[in-house]
Amino acid sequence: MKLRPYQQEVAKAVLNSIQGHKGLTFSVEIARQGGKNELSAHLELLLLTLYMARGGNLIKCSPTFKPQTIISMTRLKDRLDDFGFNGLYHSQMGYIIQLGEAKATFLSAEESSSVVGHTADILLEIDESQDVAKEKYDKEFRPMGSATNVTCVHYGTTWDEDTLLEEIKQNNLELERIDGIRRHFRYDWQEIARYNQDYGRYVIQERERLGEDHPLFRTQYALLPIKGGGRFLSRQQIAQMIGSHQRLQSPHKAGTLYIAGVDLAGEAEQEMSLLRGVYPERDSSVALLPQNDKERRARNDGERSQDSTVITIAEVDMANRLPVLRIVEQYQWTGIAHSQLYPQMVEILKNIWNCHRIAVDATGIGQPVASFLKKELGSKVIPFTFTQKSKSALGFELLSYTNSNRLKLYRQDGSREYRETMFQLEKAKAQYRPNQTVNFHVPPSEGHDDFLMSLALLTVAAKESTVRHAKGSNRDYS
């Protein structure tokens, strides 16, 4: 494989620093799948061959041993084989590759890893630097090259302003202004697409799917950092979600595909409400919501309003390449035990809407409810357990739908459900973590996020629904 011009540009700068004993530290941002790892492997291959007689050690660290470090080792072995060194190199101790007298040592930057004692005298590489802890780098990796003034390269993509990579980048840009020596290299997706048209077409599709302002598109492809927190959805994003279709009480035509997202109330809150004497409305399956912001935050007894069980029904429109979800109905119950809701939930999900897929919150006390619904409704039910990782993926998927204008709420009808949905969308906050995950929620002091989570769960049901529906048709919905 021949390196592309932008890869060659980085390689030449690194080699110049190594051969001139300059000990420079470089930061290299290359858009996702833009060839960062191939650049690294080719550099390692070249350096092992240059130093195979005189000897030396290059060190590469990755955020994890499995799979990142192992993948890096495999890639270097493949390049050695490609260039005819098969049988001339050998592995040691499961993390060292040696060619002649030169060695490439691959280490994990996980917090629990023990790496002290290694020395780098050819090159020090930090892969996915945005995911490496600053303290780990400063205390254990950077000193590995102090005695030899080793050249160091940080590879990665952008995340936020507090990562190790961003810190190295800003320092490099400041040094460049002082001495004019280029230390920071940045190649976003448009630069990569100049040399790979297939890549460009792929990223354009991702931009269509995620939206240009999606955190993953901004950081992985546009290489633009995000802020640590703030509103989960902008006013513009919320405005885009307001549709022109009517709310429905039942399906309006045969053959329409419907899905559901079910967020469950915490039963501890329900039990406390009964002890306080707060009961749901008896003349309706939908409990009354507070009418204003003050009432929304507190009941007459001074306590916060209760969490609710919410079901959101959406119509799936697959006329285009990507599915569009139109919310057509919402149900809410407050202060009612899950077991008492079973008949109504089955009636709604099975008999009224005949939902094709139903994503149900199966976290904690939600697990028995999900199990019951799965027993009653079969494989249509998709249990969803909230973890840091799964909730982050859910948040990113919800953003992809809103950014690409593929999630629509029924038009303003003055209902309590509509007002509460809009309230939660407006109050939702985002917290972007250093491990490239996001938490989204309504702060407890401001309200609940049951409508928000029910709405988000629609994207899980939609994913399963469109994939399985596509298998049974000649159309491509993937």
Total count of domains within the chain = 2
Predicted pLDDT of residue 250: 95
Whether 196 maps to a domain, the answer reads yes
Instruction: Give backbone dihedrals phi and psi of 452, rounded to 5 degrees, phi first.
Output: -60, -45
Whether 477 maps to a domain, the answer reads no
Residues 263 and 202 in one domain: no
Residues 201 and 247 in one domain: no
Whether 217 maps to a domain, the answer reads no
CA–CA dist 116, 121 (Å, integer): 15
Residues 245 and 196 in one domain: no
CA–CA dist 137, 164 (Å, integer): 8
CA–CA dist 180, 100 (Å, integer): 37
Residues 283 and 359 in one domain: yes
pLDDT-derived band at 301, boundaries 50, 70, 90:
very low
The residue type at 454:
S
- The domain boundary, picked from 162, 179, 209, lies at 209
The predicted model scores a pTM of 0.76
Flag whether pLDDT at 297 surpasses 70: no
Q: Which of 225-239, 318-332, 380-394 has the lowest mean pLDDT?
A: 225-239
List all residues 6 or more positions away from 390 whose beta carbon is below 8 Å from its beta carbon.
Answer: 384
Flag whether pLDDT at 295 surpasses 50: no
Predicted pLDDT of residue 288: 34
pLDDT-derived band at 328, boundaries 50, 70, 90:
very high
Residues 284 and 347 in one domain: yes
CA–CA dist 161, 154 (Å, integer): 16
Q: Find which of 65-69, 96-100, 111-115 is predicted with most confidence, using mean pLDDT.
A: 96-100
Three-state SS string across 185-238, please? EEECHHHHHCCCHHHHHHHHHHHHHHCCCCHHHHHHCCCCCECCEEECCCHHHH
- Stretch 155-181: mean pLDDT, rounded? 94
The enclosing domain of 443 has a CATH number of 3.30.420.240
Residues 275-287 have pLDDT tens digits of 333 333 323 333 3
Whether 214 maps to a domain, the answer reads no
Residues 397-455 have pLDDT tens digits of 999 999 999 999 999 999 999 999 999 999 999 999 888 899 999 999 899 999 999 99
- The domain boundary, picked from 209, 242, 259, lies at 209
Flag whether pLDDT at 298 surpasses 90: no
Averaged pLDDT score across all residues of the chain: 89
Residues 141 and 262 in one domain: no
Predicted pLDDT of residue 387: 96
Residues 342-369 have pLDDT tens digits of 999 999 999 999 999 999 999 999 999 9
Predicted pLDDT of residue 1: 62
Whether 169 maps to a domain, the answer reads yes
Looking at per-residue pLDDT, the higher value among 228 and 402 belongs to 402
CA–CA dist 89, 274 (Å, integer): 72
Predicted pLDDT of residue 302: 32
Residues 162 and 300 in one domain: no
pLDDT-derived band at 292, boundaries 50, 70, 90:
very low
Flag whether pLDDT at 146 surpasses 70: yes
Residue 214, CA distances (Å) to 159, 225, 246 in order: 12, 11, 29
Residues 265 and 188 in one domain: no
Residues 196 and 73 in one domain: yes
- The domain boundary, picked from 141, 176, 209, lies at 209
CA–CA dist 401, 210 (Å, integer): 7
Residues 319 and 395 in one domain: yes
How far, in whole angstroms, is CA 41 from its chain's centroid?
A: 27
CB 469 within 8 A of CB 278: no
- Stretch 318-334: mean pLDDT, rounded? 94
Whether 478 maps to a domain, the answer reads no
Percent of the chain residues past pLDDT 90, beyond the cut: 81
Residues 297 and 405 in one domain: yes
The enclosing domain of 101 has a CATH number of 3.40.50.300
Residue 206, CA distances (Å) to 181, 265, 322, 401, 408 in order: 35, 35, 11, 12, 20
Whether 56 maps to a domain, the answer reads yes
Whether 96 maps to a domain, the answer reads yes
Predicted pLDDT of residue 259: 98
- Stretch 300-321: mean pLDDT, rounded? 77
Residues 378 and 348 in one domain: yes
pLDDT-derived band at 179, boundaries 50, 70, 90:
very high
Flag whether pLDDT at 476 surpasses 80: no
Residue-number span of the structural domain to which 351 is assigned = 229-471
